[in-house]
Structure 1
Amino acid sequence: MTKKILFTFLLFLTTIAFSQNILLSEKAKVSILTCGLGPESYAMYGHTGIRIQDQLQHIDVVYNYGAFDFSTPNFIGRFIKGDLQYFVTYGSFIDFYYNYQAENREIIEQELNLTPLQINSLYQQLNYAVYSDERFYTYKFIDRNCTTMVVDKINKIIGQEFIKSDQTNLSYREILYPYMSDFYMKLGIQLIFGAKVDEPATRLFLPYEFKNALSKTQVNGNNLEKSNSKILQVNQAKIPFNWLNSIYSLLLVVVILVLLNKKWIKISHFIFAGVLGLFFSLVGLYSLHEEILWNYNILLFNPLLLIFAWYYKKENHQKTLLLGKIILAMLLVYLAYMTTKIHLQIVWPFIVLHFYWIGKIVLQIKRSKQSTSF
């Protein structure tokens, strides 16, 4: 057993040394692989890989900057905090292909118009990254992921930032929005995102946006894309509309809550909304993810609703009235700010519900005060 382990270790070291020192032939090719979307949360935006082929050297490998380890201690906590370590891996193209074929996800290949010197330099840099401390990087949703790492690598090889976003007229939120097909997942993600995702999308951070940018990129008057082909075509079954996972089910719940018109239901909702707002506030302070900082959605899911619910339950009319007016004023500010935001179309039921319930409570207290003054 010990001999087998020693042999495997020596073979591993030999492979490292060989892969880092080998020079590719002039027939070598570099391609960007764009992989299709998957149902899992980590695959819902697709994936980017780098393929290097050299038939003369019998090399056909894919480098992947999107690897992570589920067995990392406190995985969820570190992901939320924003210090989870991702790493680069590499493996044979055929294994990569079969993996995506099994997941029923397409692969689009774009061969790059690079010189043999640039291809060799990229190959050496990628191998160095795999077998050095450069292997690990701290994942950031927009600024550092499997796509941005590849974008930066290719721009470094060609010597200038030729590959860049051409959608700066859109915000990151507007680019992300169409990718989210699951309504309640979309709602949750849109609510936890803060002000950063409303900034102009100057960073290429999604695989398909990168693919489209590559097709338009020119380097010194020449197209960077040499060829473009779909090397794995899949037939994805059309997902039937599910009203339970749509805005219609949310509207139905809101209508039922309003029709029931029970005080305990209102209090329960205000507590839920307040706790959610408190979570948005605290996670923004705890996390290193810039995407969830300065979350203005706390104007809708307002932590003050917790205090409002308490005074409303205790029938402290004076303080309920004061807090109600403050929360309504914040809701007006939120609504005015949201008129230019794409996710207004999925959060408006909560806006309407809060305006209706809190406004009604405020008016009832005012009327009761007026009637007792006569």
Structure 2
Amino acid sequence: MKLAGRLLLFLTLILCGASMPALAEVENAPGANLEVSLITYGPGEIYWERFGHDAIELRDTVSGEEIDFNYGTFNFDEKNFFINFARGRMHYLLDAEPTTDEEDYYKQVGRSITRQRLALTPDQAAALRDFLFWNLRPENVGYNYNYYADNCTTRVRDAFDRVLGGGIKTRLTAMPGGMTYRQQTVRLMSAQPWLMLIMDLGLGPYADQPLSAWKESFLPEELQKNLRTVTVDDGHGGTRPLVQSEDILSPNRLDVPPTAAPDLRMPLGIAGLIFAGLIVITWRSAKLAYALLGSLFLIFAGLSGLLMLILWTLTEHHSAWANANLLLFNPMAFVLIGTLWHARRHRQPSRLANGILIIQLAALLVALLLHLLPGVVQQNQPWILFALPCWLALAWSLRQSKVSG
């Protein structure tokens, strides 16, 4: 048993040592021997892959060794991982591994891989390498993840900008972005419609702020596109493109996300009118169905409002704070469920129920009037178009109960 244990330890050391030369050679290579590239991976099929991914590749041109550094690693075994995730306290890590190991997975699942070789000077390449290896130290490897402001792509963007003396930020801050956080989110999640709707409902006004190309480069494909516009000093008094070459290492074999965000106003507006129409029709001819339909809407409104309140008050999901959809859906809706079932027997609503209805209709009016104000306003018109006819139909039906009573 001792001999077998020693052999196992010996083999383990050999295997572990086999993976070290790549890191060692890249870490010790002169800056003149380092080739720096941005590797961009296209969106995947699973919802958490829809935003794509990227990495910084360092290549030692003498030995041929290539290392990918990516900021998208997290640890499920971390203490209180799921609680922290729900509260918006997500801890991500920088990871480094041989390029072939990293890329094999993306090739296997059919996601595109693009390499952009960057025109960094030897000093800049060495400075980037030194920063990345410093970032790999246990005391530096983690960071607090934020979906839009501090994620695996903004970390890559900022690492490049750091060694270029702020040149990328200067250029991209002056360029307007093409979409808002909300539009990009809805666009990329459109392959999963129900999840897309949930995310759109849960996003607050933060997601509707105008973006520069710098901020919109929170997405891998946007950073890839925007780096094409950046120029750097060529060392002779002129400039040259930062992106020296761009190659597709593996083609995309999956469905491509749409180029524009779907307009949700028409489908949600129609859904609201249909639901409101069903409430009116069933009130007249099928009171049980009326109570069930109305309860379904009120449960949806109550649960949605409760979740939005939790996200605003108990979490660090800043993009969900101050959500104007709370004017449309809120926990007060739960109080009206019993009133709805009494209404099918023509019982008058209580004073509390009447008061809640008046408050809710006033909140709907406020939600509409907010869009007349200047500045950044939450773009929740689709949900207004859905909620307004439903609430009006419920208010009408409860008013009929009062009249009948």
What is the TM-score of this pair, normalised by structure 1? 0.85
Partner SS for 1:134? coil
CA RMSD, Structure 1 to Structure 2 (Å): 3.2
CA contact (8 A) 1:174 1:342 kept: no
**CA displacement at 1:296 relative to structure 2:** 1.4
Return the alpha-carbon distance in structure 1 between the equivalents of residues 385 and 193 of structure 2: 14
Cα distance per residue 1:204-251 (max 9 Å; x no partner): 311111111101112344321111222211333589xxxxxx958956
Instruction: After TM superposition, list the pairs within 5 Å mapping 1:346-357 onto structure 2.
Output: 348-357=385-394
Aligned to 1:321: 354
**CA displacement at 1:36 relative to structure 2:** 0.6
Evaluate the alpha carbon distance shift between residue 17 and residue 276 of structure 1 in structure 2; reply closer, same or farther with a 3 A threshold.
closer
Query: Is 1:178 the equivalent of 2:202?
Result: no
Evaluate the alpha carbon distance shift between residue 346 and residue 265 of structure 1 in structure 2; reply closer, same or farther with a 3 A threshold.
closer
Return the alpha-carbon distance in structure 1 between the equivalents of residues 383 and 335 of structure 2: 26
Query: Is 1:85 the equivalent of 2:98?
Result: no
Query: Is 1:8 the equivalent of 2:13?
Result: yes
Evaluate the alpha carbon distance shift between residue 326 and residue 229 of structure 1 in structure 2; reply closer, same or farther with a 3 A threshold.
same
CA contact (8 A) 2:205 2:379 kept: no
In structure 2, which of residues 203, 207, 219 is the aligned counterpart of residue 197 of structure 1?
207
What is the TM-score of this pair, normalised by structure 2? 0.79
Cα distance per residue 1:313-358 (max 9 Å; x no partner): 5543433222212101111222344687555346633333223223
Evaluate the alpha carbon distance shift between residue 77 and residue 338 of structure 1 in structure 2; reply closer, same or farther with a 3 A threshold.
farther
Which one-letter code corresponds to 2:193 in the other structure?
A: F
Query: Is 1:344 the equivalent of 2:381?
Result: yes
CA contact (8 A) 2:40 2:221 kept: yes
**CA displacement at 1:310 relative to structure 2:** 4.1
How many residue pairs get aligned? The number is 362
Partner SS for 1:228? strand
CA contact (8 A) 1:187 1:347 kept: no
In structure 2, which of residues 48, 65, 68 is the aligned counterpart of residue 62 of structure 1?
68
Gaps of at least 5 residues in structure 1 are: 240-245
Deviates most, 124-133 or 112-121: 124-133
Partner SS for 2:29? coil
Return the alpha-carbon distance in structure 2 between the equivalents of residues 187 and 328 of structure 1: 23
Aligned to 1:364: 400
Return the alpha-carbon distance in structure 1 between the equivalents of residues 391 and 25 of structure 2: 62
Instruction: After TM superposition, list the pairs within 5 Å mapping 1:1-374 onto structure 2.
Output: 1=5, 4-5=8-9, 8=13, 11=17, 18=24, 21-24=27-30, 26-163=32-169, 164-165=172-173, 166-168=175-177, 170-181=179-190, 182-202=192-212, 203=215, 204-220=217-233, 221-236=239-254, 247=267, 254=275, 257-258=278-279, 259-261=281-283, 262-313=290-341, 315-337=348-370, 344-345=381-382, 348-358=385-395, 360-361=396-397, 363-364=399-400, 367=403
Gaps of at least 5 residues in structure 2 are: 234-238, 258-265, 284-289, 343-347
Which one-letter code corresponds to 1:296 in the other structure?
A: A
